[in-house]
Structure 1
């Protein structure tokens, strides 16, 4: 691919990251050029973000219905799974799963909530008083 042929299609990540592509320069030697992406990647990213928005919406609904604690919403919003959250908080995965139960969550002390709040980059107050 020549430098002038490097795709520069707009995507959700265009202002955050660029990809390095190897291209041939005018002398026929390989060089690097930055790309904002191409259409196929844009479509895939857009679909992924739609799914993430749906998952956060579903988490809110579960919290409203009393089926889950705010931990679920923040896990979805921050794109964390149990393993990632466990590594950030130092809390075992089975305990995190237990803390998703609203009754158990209500009984958590502030030191445990602080660990979650730090991982989610919110205050303990925001975590405790989350409005779905």
Structure 2
């Protein structure tokens, strides 16, 4: 693809001022790199993925507010983690992290465990306990 033909379609990447590097042929016929904001098929896939992530975050938030799950699940979704990643960060087994999604179990966690979660999510323990904290 020639340098002038590299797609610059609007995308979710552009909103975050992120551009990807593409290889193209310059005027001399040499390969070079050029920044691209994306192209339509990739933009559609990216937008669909981001929409799904946002739905998962909103669903988790609603479940927390309804007392159906703990804030751990909400922050896990918000930070685009899965149970395996979160478990490795806090030094627990996956089944233990899943247990911490239960409101009753979460409410009985030690301050030390709450601090581990708060550190992973880069928030305070108060924010961890109350997802509306500071809003």
| TM-score of the alignment, normalized to the shorter chain, above 0.5 | yes
Unaligned residue ranges in structure 2 (runs of 5+)? none
Q: TM-score, normalised by structure 1?
A: 0.92
Matches for 1:50-89 after TM superposition, within 5 Å: 50-89=51-90
CA positional deviation for 1:17: 2.6
Q: Residues 26 and 130 from structure 1, CA distance in 2 versus in 1: closer, same or farther, beyond 3 angstroms?
A: closer
How far off its partner does 1:16 sit? 4.0
Asked if 1:116 is matched to 2:117, the reply is yes
Query: Matches of 2:8 and 2:89 in 1, distance apart?
Result: 36
Q: Whole-Å Cα distance in 1 between the matches of residues 57 and 86 of structure 2?
A: 16
1:35-68 Cα distance to aligned partner (Å, 9 max, x none): 1111111111111111111111111221223221
Measured in 2, the distance between the counterparts of 1:64 and 1:19 equals 38
Counterpart check, 1:3 vs 2:15? no
SS in structure 2 of the partner of residue 13 of structure 1: helix
Structure 2 vs 1, CA of residues 16 and 119 (structure 1 numbering), >3 Å: closer, same or farther? farther
The TM-score with structure 2 as length reference comes to 0.90
- CA apart distance, 1:22: 1.4
Q: Give ranges in structure 1 of 5+ residues lacking alignment.
A: none
In 1, the alpha carbon distance for the partners of 2:74 and 2:44 equals: 25
Number of residue-to-residue matches in the alignment: 132
CA distance in structure 2 between the aligned counterparts of 1:5 and 1:126, rounded to whole angstroms: 47
Distance in 2, Cα, partners of 1:4 & 1:36: 14
d(CA) in 1 for partners of 2:17, 2:83: 26
Corresponding residue for residue 126 of structure 1 = 127
CA RMSD of aligned residues (A): 1.6
